[in-house]
Structure 1
Amino acid sequence: MTRALKGTVLLPALQSLRTQVERTALPLDVEGVSATRRTRSELLAQLDDYLIPRAKSLDAPLLAVVGGSTGAGKSTLVNSIVGEHVSKSGVLRPTTLASTLVHNPADERWFAGDRVLPGLARLTGEHTELTDPGTLHLVSSAGLPQGVALLDAPDIDSVVSANRDLARQLMSAADLWIFVTTAARYADAVPWELLHQATERGTSVAVVLNRVPADAMEDVRLHFAGMLAEQGLGQSPVFAIIETGLEDGRLPDEEVARLRSWLHSLASDAQARNIVIRRTLDGALDSLQQRVRTLQDGIAAQTEGAARLRKEADDGFAAASAGVDEGMKDGSLLRGEVLARWHEFVGTGEVLRQLEQHVGRARDRVTAYLRGRGKAQPAEELGEALQSGVVVLVRSHGQTAVDGIARSWRLTPGGAPLIGAHPEIAQLSPDFTQRAEELVRRWQGEVLQMVRDEAAGKRTTARFLAFGVNGLAVMLMLIAFSATYGLSGAEVGIAGGSAVVAQRLLEALFGDQAVRTLSARARKRLLDLSSELYDQEKARYLRVLEDGASIAPQDDGLRMAMGELKAARR
């Protein structure tokens, strides 16, 4: 036996590879994903249907799959080889629905279970018109020698796509392909595509050229042999069957005698049988490297596609956070309702009357600017106006983010199907506004605590807290919503001097450095809370990306499994 037939060493490596292939996730519809998914499916099928079963049971009978085009006479050929009607034949297409596996009675134990083709249910007894293509019809016949089994597969070019897929799966499960074609159709493209695949995978192939006119036998055989040689199949045995009538639905014995004899010789000669099995097994193992590499390339494309989509989500919400940051600095929150409430709050003179004489100059400037404006309003109303303004700011930039991300995903490979499957991520969460309001209330509470902590222990605390901690906290919020610290002359005009007034009042209470520190802390905390809210929104996109399985780690798993397989074959 060669290295490939050391089943006890080979089996664990194949099982490890199968585990890694199954774990491979290809959820994104990136370019080329259809071919990669097909490669993955074919790999799993061949591992399940052929490589692992053969590695488990190297002495199991040789399985020859009879495949070919529609109307090539596969079922008739099987019936003729066995000498009895074991497979349904006829003129209606497709004739072969469930696949028929014919074996010697002594070999039943090899096929009754799920050793090979575990995905197909076993069926015994007569065929019916309603036979499920997903079943394997087992027929025991003494017409086949012990050591060889025949599997009559559906048409490789069937009008039923499930039959075509099943035919390819069955052929990948074979130790030997017996490829059946006709003198009229041997140049068709589909059979040669599969024969080319057989060459690539090192599969043992025998070809039956059926229905050859007697007067064209020599020319057809020579032409067909040349085509086989071009495909690297020049050493494959060719069995030509003359165009003739059927006898009781079967070919005359003399027409199939040579093929039957060849199969009997394989059954009786263990060495010859092992040569066929070894060639196909080695070829299938050799083909794994390129096919796994194709799968790894597909995983890399998935990883790259996911990274692009993730970056677009990251960039979208990073821009939202930057927008909130800019909105806090540019004085835009100090307009409209906030400005009106501030004027009413300060313009009553209630705050100014409680300032000590040593801040008289600041008081005078404020009084000169605000004298006579509005009636007294509580600080809570100003706080509510600030809250509404911040909620609008946070929501507007959040909506801009999800709009932009949805637009980008629709234009990015793999993104549009995700948006289609999860349309909810193209909008903010239904409770976003509620959470934004809770965020601002939390922030206002924290600012209030900052003021309390700063005032604690100061000699002036009792005097200045008389006009309200809430009022001081609102002033600090106003400063947080101005430029880096204080406003320029132009900004004073824009914001109505609100932040400057608040700044001067708080400086009189806490000192300019303390106010700088407090305003920076307040601004940073609001930005942090906003970013946390945006991260919660971004998590919806990341969950969509991570649906199914993680993409990145599997490439390493495949690489390690192929290393184990290579070591097992040494």
Structure 2
Amino acid sequence: MNTENAPAVPLIESLETTRELLRSTTLPLATASAAQQRENAARAVAQLDDYVLPRVRSLDAPLLAVVGGSTGAGKSTLVNALVGHPVTRSGAIRPTTRRPLLIHHPSDAGAFTTQRVLPHLARVQGTLVDPSRPASAPDDGGTAVEDTGSLVLLADQNIPKGLAILDAPDVDSVSDNNRALAAQLLSAADLWLFVTTANRYADAVPWQLLRNAAGRDITVAVVLDRVQASSAAEIEEDLRRMLNEEGLGGAPIFVVEESPLNELRMLPPSAVEPLREWLETLGADAQARSEIAARTLGGAVRELADTTDRTAEAVAGQQHTEEHLRREVTTSFDEALRAIIDSTRDGTLLRGEVLARWQDFVGTGEFFRSLEAGIGRVRDRMTAFFKGQPAPEVRVEEAIESGLQAVIVENTARAAESAERRWRDEPAGQVLLAGRDAAALPPDFPDQVAESIRSWQSDVMLMIQQEGAGKRTRARAMSLGVNALAVILMIAVFSTTGGLTGLEVGIAGGSGVVGTKLLEAVFGEDAVRRMSDQARKNLETRIRTMLAGRAKQFLDTIDELGEHPSAEQLHAAAARVRAESEAL
């Protein structure tokens, strides 16, 4: 590892990019791995802030040795013994609030008084009180609640230069906050001093942490505390066997035999002498410290790359789920679109009220009489006006509007119910629908549909007006009336008689053919075909727009999740971190 002060700029840039990607990855959908991977990504970001980036930026900074272990293992008593006087018991340091304690040599203060490492913990300068004052209570009971938002710094000449010791909370504390802080501090360590006892060295919780340490290549020294001299060799041998099985065969073991405490609740210096000498030797050996830092940092970076890849896989799962939910909505509304368009093509709309009003318009003879005498049509329309009666073609328009509106509203409601049902079959969809009645159509939706249909009818009428503006067609179009021709064109659009039977074919289909022939006589066959196609495309576009507006109610719920990094971006970031970290 290069220990020069010049930082590894490409690696730092890759790590910072990866941090931002992980921080921005929210995994909001309820997929199989989302919850666990959110937690893993958050831990990775925290470790980048607390340890990885600070260490890469300051490769020659003092090592941080974190003392961790189970409740009652004797961590604080061990730290006091290593320092040579009480520092961790209640009342030994001001302020007296129980906080994690970081002890360093005075010349190393600059490495820890800033927010270089553990930047989210506030710094509190500790002051040692009279060490001769007897302790009022044991300090290893594990019941004190830590102040998890700050870190007490204490400068002490008895700590070797180039090395700092941090007394962490219990890894199995009854307090969730204490356990979380212990995990955070251990993740920020270059070196673990893991304290266990003769009675608890096989406990599950510490061994899970030791397995994680082995996987990350963290340098670990194990302190076997409170061991009876008669059984020390046997217990140490068994502990060594377990360490070998877990890939920690190289970890040194320091046995601290059970010893009486003095009036300051201090162990005799001889009890921890081998461990103190090991730490002093390490502090004096820059090369050894560099190797430990390189090993731990390399393991942390590899773990970061692995976590980033796993996060990418979780993101890919999110993307797959998101696409699936979108397809469910699209499928439901596409089915509704096909049903509505089919009803405009197979004669369905010419049943019922539309058929009756069309029959009134065509079957009473007024339509055909209008072919013979324009003056008769004008006279009849004037009479209808003074009697307050709408013209027959207007009644056909109204019937078309009403019938088409019913078809659109019914199929849109069915599509919304189908989309909601499909989403509720998916865990991710259930979360997105929480507190929402996505299937309910707005109260004004029928009015919106009716307005769109009327706009379409107006477009058809405008088309007739524009087509009849030429000198050759104006007279014939004027003799029949724009409204009548527009209604005939609408019926022509709907009168492909695939869905009609019996008498309906004769009335609607036959009359539709007559109407089409009339339009062709006025405008020409090509013009009628063009106008029919245009009118149908106009209508289908409006139908698609109305359905898309309702589908958007579902799709917006997904869009509200916001932008997030893609799986490809995360995989690429992991690959860059691996490539740039090869020199570690």
Structure 1 residue corresponding to 2:159, chosen from 131, 135, 144:
144
Amino acid at match of 1:288: L
Partner of 2:205: 190
Partner of 1:367: none
CA displacement, residues 203-230 of structure 1 (integer Å, 9 cap, x when unaligned): 1111111222333212111101110111
CA distance in 1, matches of 2:552, 2:438: 10
CA distance in 2, matches of 1:3, 1:84: 34
Q: Which moved more, 1:159-168 or 1:440-449?
A: 159-168
Partner of 2:538: 525
* CA drift at 1:201: 0.7
Amino acid at match of 1:381: R
* CA drift at 1:281: 1.3
Contact 1:69 1:155 in 2 (8 A): yes
Contact 2:311 2:570 in 1 (8 A): no
CA distance in 2, matches of 1:252, 1:279: 33
Q: Structure 1 pair 560/437, CA: closer, same or farther in 2 (3 Å)?
A: same
Contact 2:308 2:570 in 1 (8 A): no
CA distance in 1, matches of 2:127, 2:487: 88
Structure 1 residue corresponding to 2:515, chosen from 474, 499, 505:
505
Q: In the alignment, does 2:420 pair up with 1:390? A: no
Partner of 2:417: 403
Partner of 1:251: 267
CA distance in 2, matches of 1:233, 1:416: 46
Q: Structure 1 pair 156/458, CA: closer, same or farther in 2 (3 Å)?
A: farther
CA displacement, residues 86-136 of structure 1 (integer Å, 9 cap, x when unaligned): 33569xxxx996422222232222122221112222234589977631322
Structure 2 residue corresponding to 1:475, chosen from 488, 501, 513:
488
What TM-score comes out, normalization by structure 2 length?
Answer: 0.85
Partner of 1:273: 289
CA distance in 2, matches of 1:121, 1:205: 27
State percent identity of aligned pairs.
Answer: 41
CA distance in 2, matches of 1:103, 1:434: 76
Structure 2 residue corresponding to 1:437, chosen from 442, 447, 450:
450
CA distance in 1, matches of 2:439, 2:182: 43
CA distance in 1, matches of 2:209, 2:580: 30
Q: Which moved more, 1:398-407 or 1:457-466?
A: 457-466
Partner of 1:115: 116
Partner of 2:8: 8
Partner of 1:535: 548
Q: In the alignment, does 2:467 pair up with 1:454? A: yes
Amino acid at match of 1:519: S
Contact 1:3 1:569 in 2 (8 A): no
Contact 1:331 1:491 in 2 (8 A): no
CA distance in 2, matches of 1:318, 1:20: 36
Amino acid at match of 1:38: E
Q: Structure 1 pair 309/490, CA: closer, same or farther in 2 (3 Å)?
A: closer
Partner of 2:349: 333
* CA drift at 1:318: 1.3
Q: Structure 1 pair 130/228, CA: closer, same or farther in 2 (3 Å)?
A: closer
CA distance in 2, matches of 1:41, 1:349: 80
Contact 1:14 1:565 in 2 (8 A): no
Alignment of 1:69-468 (within 5 A): 69-88=70-89, 98-125=99-126, 132-247=147-262, 248-356=264-372, 377-420=391-434, 423-429=436-442, 431-457=444-470, 459-468=472-481
Contact 1:31 1:413 in 2 (8 A): no
* CA drift at 1:288: 3.2
Unaligned runs of 5+ in 2: 129-142, 374-388
Amino acid at match of 1:216: S
Q: Structure 1 pair 252/434, CA: closer, same or farther in 2 (3 Å)?
A: farther
Partner of 1:361: none
Q: Structure 1 pair 187/147, CA: closer, same or farther in 2 (3 Å)?
A: same
Amino acid at match of 2:8: T
Contact 1:63 1:150 in 2 (8 A): yes
Q: Which moved more, 1:10-19 or 1:557-566?
A: 557-566
Q: Secondary structure at the match of 1:184?
A: coil
* CA drift at 1:455: 2.2
Partner of 1:24: 25
Contact 1:478 1:499 in 2 (8 A): no
What TM-score comes out, normalization by structure 1 length?
Answer: 0.87
Q: Structure 1 pair 509/313, CA: closer, same or farther in 2 (3 Å)?
A: closer
Contact 1:18 1:47 in 2 (8 A): yes
CA distance in 1, matches of 2:346, 2:335: 16
Contact 2:359 2:507 in 1 (8 A): no
Partner of 1:364: none
CA displacement, residues 225-258 of structure 1 (integer Å, 9 cap, x when unaligned): 1101111111111112223343323333222222
CA displacement, residues 350-384 of structure 1 (integer Å, 9 cap, x when unaligned): 33211049xxxxxxxxxxxxxxxxx8744333322
Contact 1:96 1:153 in 2 (8 A): no
Contact 2:495 2:508 in 1 (8 A): no
Partner of 2:579: 566
Contact 1:317 1:538 in 2 (8 A): yes
Q: Secondary structure at the match of 2:158?
A: coil
Q: Structure 1 pair 496/560, CA: closer, same or farther in 2 (3 Å)?
A: same
Contact 2:308 2:574 in 1 (8 A): no
* CA drift at 1:3: 9.3
Amino acid at match of 1:285: V
CA distance in 1, matches of 2:555, 2:439: 13
Contact 2:349 2:400 in 1 (8 A): yes
Q: Secondary structure at the match of 2:183?
A: helix
Contact 2:103 2:165 in 1 (8 A): yes
Unaligned runs of 5+ in 1: 358-374
CA displacement, residues 364-410 of structure 1 (integer Å, 9 cap, x when unaligned): xxxxxxxxxxx874433332232222222222222222211111122
CA displacement, residues 431-451 of structure 1 (integer Å, 9 cap, x when unaligned): 533432332222112111222
Q: Structure 1 pair 137/175, CA: closer, same or farther in 2 (3 Å)?
A: same
Contact 2:312 2:570 in 1 (8 A): no
CA distance in 1, matches of 2:563, 2:209: 34
CA distance in 2, matches of 1:428, 1:257: 78
Q: In the alignment, does 2:557 pair up with 1:556? A: no
Amino acid at match of 1:493: L
* CA drift at 1:496: 7.2
* CA drift at 1:149: 1.2
Partner of 2:137: none
Contact 2:492 2:516 in 1 (8 A): no
Contact 1:75 1:89 in 2 (8 A): no
Contact 1:97 1:154 in 2 (8 A): no
Contact 1:74 1:180 in 2 (8 A): yes
Q: Which moved more, 1:293-302 or 1:168-177?
A: 293-302
CA distance in 2, matches of 1:437, 1:3: 76
Q: Secondary structure at the match of 2:109?
A: helix
* CA drift at 1:47: 1.3
Q: Secondary structure at the match of 1:211?
A: strand
* CA drift at 1:79: 2.6
